[in-house]
Structure 1
Amino acid sequence: MTINFAKPHPSVLRTFSEPMFVNLRPNLTAAKFDLMKFTPAKSIIEDALSSGRLVHGSHVIESSSGTFALALAILCSQFGLHLTLVTGPVSQVVRWRLESLGAKLHVVNQSNLCEGGIQQARLGVLAELLQENPDAFWPKQHTNPLNAASYRPFPTKLLDEGRRFDTLVGTVGSGGSLFGFARVLLEDNPSLKVVAVDHNRSVIFGAKASKITRMCRESFEQVLAMGAGIPMGNVSFQDCDEVHWVPVPKMVQQVHQFHAETGLLVGASSGAALTVAKWHAEREPDRNVLTILPDHGVRYVETLFDPEWLDRWPDDLRVTWDSPQDKESLEDITEGWCRMTWGRKPFEAIAGHPPLPRHAGYNP
């Protein structure tokens, strides 16, 4: 079968797909992506093209406000596909990039839902669009097994070079990157410590924060490409040794400190991963730590790097968190930087109940 689609520029695809490995300290390495979600998006789209599920001119519909949305926009423009995105609030620069690449946006600005929040509201819109466009292709980034599998070449490359790691630290959104890396590294080192990083408003690990900072409450939808208000099918709880919940102000502090130290501009999710990875590297100098930095800072110029925007939360940004508070129960997670041993257990063993039921528009 001959597939009729536009010929993409191969060097463009390679540029977005491959991370740069940066040695930050003698025992700390970062896999720094400019657009991490390009990796699973490329794998999912190319698989659909190869199978004939997508052809030139096909329609792709997905819910995403972050790097997966931008990755899909780039890929669809390269392959001659139509793209509709259901997003939350996005910055002007992100909206300009998405629309200039040909994407059509359905923006959901807020939700009154208590459970699932704006993500569930977006999935409701997504379900309506898929019903109206039954021939459209839905990438299903949160449950598609190609998401995690697409990251295999990167840790494999490190192992082939003779590099070994004792601790892996990464933020969790869809679950693809952290557990995609983890599965490869665990094959080499079953004693690898897998450390997941979440935020205080997320339900992925069943946290029940009774109190959060004002900055977390008011800004997380604008600045975070991690966490979730709904369960994520690609999260491998039984590969997870430890979970950290990092407040947004700490992420912002870390991003600014990292830029001052290295000149590298990264986003809030990278700030969360760096916070935990640096703590582990300092605390355990004999262990080699690998962390994943998922996002470039350019999409945050109107938020994380805008002094007027930051001035909205001066009290929160003055607080310092030098180390996490150890917690014994999910009910104890609060507004600060919290840490809890997970012990490679299923979700039910820690939370006392199964993950929340999947919502409309989220079925695989």
Structure 2
Amino acid sequence: MIAVHEHITDAVKTPSLIRLSPNVVLVRFETLKVYAALGAVRALLAAGTVRRGQTLVDSSSGIYALALAMACHRYGLRCHIVASTTVDATIRAQLEVLGATVDRMPPSDDLRLDQRRRVARVRELLERHPDMHWMRQYHDPVHYLGYAELADLVREALDPGPLAVVGSVGTGSSTGGLVRALREHDPAVRLVGVQPFGSVTFGSERFVDPDSIIAGIGSAIPFDNVRHDLYDRVHWLDFRHAMSATVALLRDHAVFAGLSTGAADLAAGWESARHPDHTHLVIGADTGHRYTERVFARHREALDPAGLAPVEIEALDELTPPWSVMDWRRRAYGALVPAQLRRKHRVP
């Protein structure tokens, strides 16, 4: 039965499940972050932490900004976004029409600098406007809550049996929130995280990948919402491998998805061959529109994923581009990272 939705957010958050191979299923979204934004806003309103008419502020590299603006539109809140240099004109125009005010950071190829500038700008806004509420999508666990609804949909749609969730780590909320809810029913559910080289989240910041798009996959600054002890395995991929897999997803399955989806699908292909008894659920966080120039226009440069394989490592000092994989075994960050790196792993 086709539902008539009361607001666009209910339609946008509804995923499509697509079988890519006998034991790999893609859960594809127009924008996954609607679950995080709706869940957070509802919880904050119910607790009296925010009220209708108040302004919610946060920084974003793109899809969370749009999700938060839509949630504010639904619940009568104002929205202010400190936008990454990676936010394109299409998203910015949507934000402005939805009534959000937008601060855009100056152009920069240094995403670490971009993220730090955004945090500084948010702090400046809060000093000037103390009534604003900082959503802190990178640090406030309230963003986990909305994914319990997605977990229920997954459990209903998939056949019973061993399950592995494969997705980009990013802020930590989507993979962490989904698997935490799934493990309430089955503690054996595996979680496989995907990272780019250059991300601080799982200790690869010493690498530089000039083409890497950190936004949505890794981070140049530490995020409290990343619960390292939830992850069973971690894959690190360079830009060309992620790009090649994203192009292959469109070529082989007609799925037009973002870079993080392609990266997760490549990791899932390797995992599924080693765990054929598991269903591997690939998180497809967004569509491919904002990657047209950086990824799809370069499709002739794409490698054949069938010929790609990772280096299996046992310690972070063995990390080797362009693709490494390691058993994380649900351990805390400090258990695997040398002390000198742990000292850097602090929220600014």
| Fold conserved between structures, TM > 0.5 | yes
2:313 matched to which residue of 1? Answer: 327
1:157 is aligned to 2:143: no
SS at match of 1:340: strand
CA deviation profile, 1:3-23 (whole Å, cap 9, x unmatched)? xxxxxx724121122222222
CA deviation profile, 1:311-360 (whole Å, cap 9, x unmatched)? 8xx5xx55966111112322332430111121211111100234645444
1:194 matched to which residue of 2? Answer: 191
In the alignment, which of 128, 133, 138 is matched to residue 134 of structure 2? 138
CA distance in 1: counterparts of 2:119 and 2:107, whole angstroms: 13
SS at match of 2:134: coil
1:262 is aligned to 2:253: yes
In the alignment, which of 159, 164, 168 is matched to residue 167 of structure 1? 164
Provide the alpha-carbon RMSD of the alignment: 2.5
SS at match of 1:215: coil
2:244 matched to which residue of 1? Answer: 253
Q: Which amino acid aligns with 1:25?
A: S
Q: Unpaired runs of 5+ in structure 2?
A: none
How far does residue 273 in structure 1 lie from its aligned partner after superposition? 0.8
SS at match of 1:243: strand
1:292 is aligned to 2:283: yes
CA distance in 1: counterparts of 2:171 and 2:285, whole angstroms: 12
Equivalences for residues 1-364 of structure 1 within 5 A: 10-89=6-85, 90-109=87-106, 116-160=112-156, 162-210=159-207, 212-216=208-212, 220=213, 224-307=215-298, 317=302, 322-353=308-339, 354=342, 356=344, 358-360=346-348
CA distance in 1: counterparts of 2:43 and 2:185, whole angstroms: 28
Whether the aligned pair in 2 keeps the contact of 1:209 and 1:332 (CA below 8 Å) is: no
Q: Unpaired runs of 5+ in structure 1?
A: 1-8
CA distance in 1: counterparts of 2:175 and 2:131, whole angstroms: 32
Whether the aligned pair in 2 keeps the contact of 1:208 and 1:330 (CA below 8 Å) is: no
CA distance in 2: counterparts of 1:93 and 1:141, whole angstroms: 22
Q: Which amino acid aligns with 1:159?
A: R
How far does residue 207 in structure 1 lie from its aligned partner after superposition? 1.9
SS at match of 2:18: strand
Q: Tell me the TM-score normalised to structure 1 length.
A: 0.85
How far does residue 231 in structure 1 lie from its aligned partner after superposition? 1.2
SS at match of 1:35: coil
How far does residue 176 in structure 1 lie from its aligned partner after superposition? 0.8
CA distance in 2: counterparts of 1:49 and 1:239, whole angstroms: 28
Q: Which amino acid aligns with 1:10?
A: E
Query: How many equivalent residue pairs?
Result: 339
Task: Sort the Cα spacing of 1:273 and 1:355 in 2 relative to 1 into closer, same or farther, 3 A.
Answer: farther
How far does residue 54 in structure 1 lie from its aligned partner after superposition? 3.1
Task: Sort the Cα spacing of 1:213 and 1:234 in 2 relative to 1 into closer, same or farther, 3 A.
Answer: closer
Whether the aligned pair in 2 keeps the contact of 1:242 and 1:342 (CA below 8 Å) is: yes
How far does residue 112 in structure 1 lie from its aligned partner after superposition? 9.6
CA distance in 1: counterparts of 2:275 and 2:231, whole angstroms: 18
CA distance in 1: counterparts of 2:304 and 2:164, whole angstroms: 28
Whether the aligned pair in 2 keeps the contact of 1:209 and 1:335 (CA below 8 Å) is: no
How far does residue 264 in structure 1 lie from its aligned partner after superposition? 1.8
CA distance in 2: counterparts of 1:265 and 1:65, whole angstroms: 20
1:3 matched to which residue of 2? Answer: none
Q: Which amino acid aligns with 1:100?
A: V
CA deviation profile, 1:226-266 (whole Å, cap 9, x unmatched)? 21111111212112111101111111111111111222210
CA distance in 1: counterparts of 2:34 and 2:25, whole angstroms: 21
How far does residue 124 in structure 1 lie from its aligned partner after superposition? 0.9
Percent of pairs with identical residues: 29
